[in-house]
Amino acid sequence: MNYIAHIYILPLPELLDPQGKAVVNGLHNLGITAVEDVRVGKYITVKLRAQSKAEAENLADVACKKLLVNAIMEKYSITIEEL
């Protein structure tokens, strides 16, 4: 069956996120002053074939660990959608 793995990657909370800080400043300059903090990460969708939802999740997890996520600087979560 076909699945889509939705992968959400963010910089670890204890690390600085200069891109997020730049977005905060940009939004403040645009008058959106209610914004207090921004973290900028990656959203990756992976379409894949697998026998089960569990296998799809496992494949996505391997893809994250081997290629997509830098565990020293980033955390991630995965949700699986069946097509």
Q: What residue ranges bind a second copy (CB under 8 A)?
A: 2, 8-10, 20, 23, 26-27, 30, 32, 34-50, 59, 62-63, 66-68
CB of 36 to a second copy, least distance (A): 5
Q: Compute the distance between CA of residue 83 and CA of residue 47 in angstroms, rounded to an integer.
A: 9
Shortest distance, position 38 Cβ to a second copy, whole Å? 5
Torsion, CA 61, CA 63, CA 68, CA 70, rounded to 10: 60
3-state secondary structure of 17: coil
Shortest reach from residue 77's CB to a second copy, in Å: 10
Between residues 14 and 36, which has the closer beta carbon with respect to a second copy?
Answer: 36
- Give 14 or 37: the residue with its C-beta nearer to a second copy: 37
Give how far the C-alpha of residue 81 lies from the chain's centroid of Cα atoms, to the nearest Å.
Answer: 16
32 vs 71, which CB is nearer to a second copy? Answer: 32
CB 47 within 8 A of CB 3: yes
